[in-house]
Amino acid sequence: MKRGRLRVYLGAAPGVGKTYAMLGEGRRACERGRDVVVGFVETHGRSRTAALLEGLEVIPRKTLVYRGATFAELDVDAVIARAPKAALIDELAHTNVPGSKNVKRWQDIDDILDAGIDVISTVNIQHLESVNDVVREITGIPQRETVPDEVVRRADQIELVDMSPEALRRRLAHGNVYAPEKVDAALSNYFRVGNLTALRELALLWVAGKVDEQLDRYRADHGIDSTWEARERVVVALTGGPEGDTLVRRAARVAARTKGADLLAVHVTSADGLDGGDPANLARQRALVESMGGTYHQVVGDDIPRALLDFAGGVNATQLVLGASRRGRFAQMFSRGVGVETTALSGSIDVHLVTHEEAKKGRRHPERSRAALTRKRRLAGWVVAVAGLPLLTAALAPLRGVLSLPTEILLFLSLVIGIALIGGTWPAITAAVGGFLLLNRFFTPPLYTWTIEDPENLLALVVFVLMATAVSAIVDLAARRSREMARARADAATLSTLAGHVLRGEAALSSLLGRLRETFALDSVTLLERVGEPTLDDQFEGDAWRIIATSGSAPCTTPAAADTDVTISDRLVLAARGRLLDASDRRVLEAFAAEAAVALRQERLQREAEQAKPLAEADRMRTALLAAVSHDLRTPLSAAKAAVESLRSHDVDWSAEDREELLATADESLARLDRLVENLLDMSRLQAGALGISLQPLAPEEVVPHAIDDLGPLRDRVEGDIPADLPEILADPALLERVLVNLMSNAVRYSPPAQQVLVTASWHDDQVEIRVIDRGPGIPPEAYERVFLPFQRLGDRDNGTGVGLGLALSRGLTEAMGGALVPEETPGGGLTMIIRMPINSGR
């Protein structure tokens, strides 16, 4: 059977119109004659959404009983048995009640799709697994119901239901999303403009990524290599030279001209890995690219223009930024250069050739200006050349009649090759020229003259010189390559150590500098920062610099005091003391320096984040307080005011029972308001450390009954079972009673109507444990600590459960008395709050 097709309506937040759009599509399909049924739709009391259900066939829901409550879920078997062409099933991320066929609704939908039925469903961006932690950071509310991204990604069609934050808040304010009593809290918390804007951006970016995947798949399936300018992507090519900083900034400006353009940097290294750029420059430029919101890439290729264009085509780039050639005029006569060659082959990709200060200065290779061999080997080569040629000539002179000229030439060629192996190119070339002269003088007729009679002998000698020179150059190149490979291997090992340092999370500056000091066997390595503005002589002034981090003994206090220093930026210098480093080691040192700058920046950002965290928490608390108090003050005040105004009214003749009921309403509302004010005041005293506490010996069996009596009408829902033989505890009677009242009223609120809340106590070691046990829905273990945060109610499902201070205040009061308040799961379901108080040691 052919699998059904899945269509998903994705929204940024509740209320944007996903269910409305899904039902609208269902009605249009019915009008076209398609067999469509409603498998499960949740209207949330929205009249306009409910109106769209009229005329559609609704599959009855399956009822399940769990913990004494009845729930309605999607009836998968009924939908499959009905076998419609399409089914409308709301809330893709919904978690089914235990006892259902599947744990998640998306698994139910998968079964329906397998039956060949098309499904139209809905989901919010906050329910996608990949962005769950981001949403928690934005809104402060974790989403317990999530769906794997892959489930949504493999949908045949995804449609974004978009709405501006202002429009959604207007819908909310008009009562089109939630009931009126929930609007104020929703607007002040989850539905703030900042939250909605961030969630909207997440939804747009997620859908854009899905569109990119579809576009890439379509181009790959249809073999389309040309660039489609659906989105600007600017690629900047980096050689590892100093001009890279200029190119990155220029490319960033090009990308900034188009909203949403991508910036990518690429470095092409040769297949042998020997002709790469300066790692210090590349490390610095990579950090620069990433600081501008771009990404860094590295590809391997011997044909640089082709490698650049292959990469640009692979990422669907629209523009390519290259630096003007650094080669001189003479070199450009023999080769057009990477820029010109890339432009000729670019096709539909725009190529920008950017001039810079390094243009036409030639490519400088500090290491190649040196000989490939050591000085000792070069000196040995000269000695062999000077001494070996006369000795070979003297050895071959008596054999002139025995050996032919070609043999003598081969013997001289062997000596030249040996000299090339020992001393390199120049001793070998000199030996080749000297051998030519000696062969001409002593072995080519006429002897002992510089004349050559036979042209064939002249040709042989000329070929000898050319071959000797070519072989010498090849041998020297091989020696140079071998030396470069050894250096590259050493640099790679060093940089691998640096990469491992980063991957293992050892980002502390002291650790990084310590590894640098060990790598190069230095006495000390110090990161210096300039204190004020740069001056001409501040390299020598100790007051102009401060030590940020150091490793080793005798740290440098100024750049001038270092044996080797690397300027990272206008304000940062890495100073090393112990020995002078050669150019190749300095390149790796510069890579370490760039990483040290990144580590310093990360440390400072983390420090700033830690400093800003209390301010953000205070702001969050203030916002939550205003939102919660605005509602919780309004409700009892409104009720009390209405009751008093009714009693004062002369238009109605109230009966005695009505007057008693109105007075009871006013009394209850004012008592609730009094408790709220007391909780707020006590919470502020706790946070300020100004709460007065009077500890004294107490008998648990005396304080618990008083707390139960204070519950008022709720006292009948609580059952106390306190043994009389418990030892006395040390506590403040009033505060402990407040704690118990808060816990018991909270337990009653969440317990099923037919279940009693049980209060027990027991004695363990030097503590007495008072347990408040309910049989409610309970709290998942991962949320135990969160429920003790001020102004938090697990789930925030309604605004009738108080300001959310009860548990926070209870824990604060308990700890202020020297005790502890901890939750644990009630066996069989529910929550048990345990008050642990110390035994009176003076008993």
Which residue has tokens 């042989």? 460
Tell me: the pLDDT tens digits for 597-628? Answer: 777 877 788 788 777 777 766 566 555 555 55
Quote the CA–CA distance of 541 and 554 in Å, as a whole number. 17
**Amino acid (one-letter) located at 67:** R
DSSP element (H, E) containing 687: helix 656-688
Percentage of residues in the chain having pLDDT higher than 70:
79
Mean of per-residue pLDDT scores for the chain: 79
Kindly report whether the global pTM for this prediction surpasses the value 0.85.
no
| Distance (Å) of CA 157 to CA 5, 54, 162 | 8, 26, 16
Residue 351, both tokens: 């190529």
Cβ neighbours of residue 666 closer than 8 Å, sequence gap 6 or more:
639, 640, 643, 644, 647
Quote the CA–CA distance of 360 and 689 in Å, as a whole number. 71
* Count of C-beta atoms within a 10 Å radius of residue 757: 26
* Count of C-beta atoms within a 10 Å radius of residue 453: 11
Residue 325, both tokens: 């050639």
pLDDT at 498: 57
pLDDT at residue 102 greater than cutoff 80: yes
C-beta separation of 662 from 643 below 8 A: yes
pLDDT at 38: 94
Instruction: Please state the rounded mean pLDDT for residues 379-389.
Output: 89
CA pseudo-torsion sign 803, 806, 811, 815: positive
pLDDT at 451: 75
pLDDT at 690: 52
pLDDT at 796: 41
Quote the CA–CA distance of 282 and 279 in Å, as a whole number. 5
Return the closest-CA partner of residue 415 out of 437, 439, 432.
432
pLDDT at residue 88 greater than cutoff 90: yes
C-beta separation of 122 from 18 below 8 A: yes
Phi-psi region of 35 (alpha: psi -120 to 50; beta: other; left: phi over 0): beta
Return the closest-CA partner of residue 620 out of 454, 766, 777, 790.
790
C-beta separation of 822 from 772 below 8 A: no
Instruction: Please state the rounded mean pLDDT for residues 231-245.
Output: 83
Q: How confident is the model at residue 766 (pLDDT cuts 50, 70, 90)?
A: confident
Return the closest-CA partner of residue 427 out of 388, 484, 481, 467.
388
DSSP element (H, E) containing 353: strand 350-354
| β-bridge mates for residue 296, sequence order | 265
Quote the CA–CA distance of 261 and 334 in Å, as a whole number. 37
C-beta separation of 700 from 736 below 8 A: no
Instruction: Please state the rounded mean pLDDT for residues 5-20.
Output: 91
3-state secondary structure 75-114: CHHHHHHHCCCEEEECCCCCECCCCCCCCEHHHHHHHHHH
Tell me whether strands 233-238 and 524-530 are parallel, antiparallel or unpaired: unpaired
pLDDT at residue 259 greater than cutoff 70: no
Tell me: the pLDDT tens digits for 447-498? Answer: 888 777 777 777 877 887 887 788 777 877 776 777 667 666 666 666 665 5
pLDDT at residue 219 greater than cutoff 70: no
* Count of C-beta atoms within a 10 Å radius of residue 691: 17
C-beta separation of 235 from 306 below 8 A: no
Q: How confident is the model at residue 735 (pLDDT cuts 50, 70, 90)?
A: confident
C-beta separation of 448 from 441 below 8 A: yes
pLDDT at 658: 80
Among the residue ranges 9-23, 482-496, 707-721, 769-783, the one predicted with the least confidence is 482-496
pLDDT at 89: 94
Quote the CA–CA distance of 165 and 16 in Å, as a whole number. 9
pLDDT at 368: 42
Half-sphere exposure of 324 (CA within 13 A, CB side): 11
Residue 71, both tokens: 């729930």
Tell me: the pLDDT tens digits for 624-648? Answer: 555 555 555 666 777 788 888 887 8
For the chain, the residue count is 843
DSSP element (H, E) containing 713: none
Torsion from C-alpha of 174, 180, 183, 184, nearest 10 degrees: 110
C-beta separation of 318 from 234 below 8 A: yes
| β-bridge mates for residue 596, sequence order | none
pLDDT at 86: 94
Tell me: the pLDDT tens digits for 179-218? Answer: 766 666 667 677 888 888 888 888 887 887 666 666 656 6
Which range scores top for mean pLDDT: 321-335, 529-543, 670-684, 753-767? 753-767
Could you list the beta-strand ranges (E) of 545-622: 545-552, 564-567, 572-577
Tell me: the pLDDT tens digits for 808-822? Answer: 778 888 888 889 999
First and final C-alpha spacing in the chain: 79
Phi/psi at 777 (nearest 5 deg)? -70, -15
pLDDT at residue 365 greater than cutoff 50: no
CA pseudo-torsion sign 355, 358, 359, 364: negative
pLDDT at 405: 80
| Distance (Å) of CA 335 to CA 341, 358, 363, 530, 766 | 9, 19, 14, 46, 89
Helix count and strand count (H, E) for the chain: 24, 24
467 burial (CB, 10 Å; 0-12 / 13-18 / 19+) is: middle
Q: How confident is the model at residue 542 (pLDDT cuts 50, 70, 90)?
A: confident
Residue 191, both tokens: 């539905």
The residue with greater pLDDT, 87 or 485, is 87
* Count of C-beta atoms within a 10 Å radius of residue 839: 18
| β-bridge mates for residue 142, sequence order | none
pLDDT at residue 274 greater than cutoff 80: no
Q: How confident is the model at residue 503 (pLDDT cuts 50, 70, 90)?
A: very low
DSSP element (H, E) containing 354: strand 350-354
Residue 271, both tokens: 């297949």
Return the closest-CA partner of residue 549 out of 493, 497, 595, 496.
595
188 burial (CB, 10 Å; 0-12 / 13-18 / 19+) is: middle
Instruction: Please state the rounded mean pLDDT for residues 169-178.
Output: 79
CA pseudo-torsion sign 392, 395, 397, 400: negative
DSSP element (H, E) containing 536: none
DSSP element (H, E) containing 771: strand 767-773
The residue with greater pLDDT, 354 or 614, is 354
Could you list the beta-strand ranges (E) of 610-717: 696-698
Quote the CA–CA distance of 503 and 290 in Å, as a whole number. 17
Q: How confident is the model at residue 373 (pLDDT cuts 50, 70, 90)?
A: low
C-beta separation of 600 from 509 below 8 A: yes
Determine what percent of the chain falls in helix, strand and coil, rounding each to the nearest 5: 50, 15, 30
Tell me whether strands 36-40 and 57-58 are parallel, antiparallel or unpaired: parallel
Instruction: Please state the rounded mean pLDDT for residues 746-760.
Output: 87
pLDDT at residue 793 greater than cutoff 50: no
